Amino acid sequence: MQSRIWVACKRVAGLLLESEAFGTVMGRNVDRIDPCMGCAIGHFCGSLCLPEAHELNGRMDRVGGVLRLL
């Protein structure tokens, strides 16, 4: 029998995975964002500028401030 905590954790995880925010993050593709598509470490770094891009631009299909400095 599963504990109540386990059931609650599964429920929360399900809500997170179905959330709009999670879909937005998972929908970002560095191969479709210029200049990310030319970045040598874009697939390794996991697009570290992701939260910064959202904060600066209000969306995640743009680059963050780190790339603006390069």
pLDDT of the residue at 16 = 86
pLDDT at residue 45 greater than cutoff 70: no
Q: What is the DSSP letter of 10?
A: H
Q: Which residue range is the domain that position 41 belongs to?
A: 4-69
Give the mean model confidence (pLDDT) for residues 39-43. 74
In angstroms, the CA 12 to CA 4 distance is: 12
30 — pLDDT class (breaks 50, 70, 90)? confident
Residue 56 neighbours by CB distance under 10 Å: 14
**Count of structural domains within the chain:** 1
SS3 call for 2? coil
Under 8 Å between Cβ of 44 and 54? no
Render pLDDT for 47-60 as a digit per residue (tens, 0 to 9). 566 777 778 878 77
pLDDT of the residue at 46 = 55
